[in-house]
């Protein structure tokens, strides 16, 4: 199982949208990028996402890839009020 972090930012007035290009390996790096984007004042919604990717080999030889996404508690001006998880 591997996990990575992404930072997503948007501006609801201009429609500008940002998603970090690299999957960040550490929460610390994601939070640093988050703080940088908030400090710029260019976006009015910023959040950190964490994804778990699990790869399993099935008995029939095929691979099963599972992805679980979660918005972390680091939000700025986000309309999200609670954690969201997808199985």
pLDDT at 32: 95
pLDDT at 35: 95
pTM above 0.75, yes or no: no
Cα dihedral value 79, 26, 52, 6, nearest 10 = 40
In whole angstroms, what is the distance from residue 72 CA to residue 83 CA?
Answer: 7
pLDDT in tens, 5-39: 999 999 989 999 999 988 898 999 999 999 999 99
The domains of the chain are located at 2-76
Mean pLDDT of the chain: 85
């Amino acid at each position: 199982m591997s996990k990575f972090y992404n930072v997503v930012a948007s501006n609801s007035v201009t429609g500008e949208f940002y998603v970090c290009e690299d999957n960040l390996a550490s929460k610390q790096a994601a939070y640093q990028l988050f703080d940088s984007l908030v400090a710029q004042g260019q976006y009015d919604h910023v959040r950190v996402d964490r994804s778990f990717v699990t790869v399993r080999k099935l008995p029939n030889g095929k691979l099963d890839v599972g992805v679980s996404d979660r918005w972390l508690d680091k939000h700025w001006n986000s309309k999200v009020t609670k954690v969201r998880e997808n199985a």
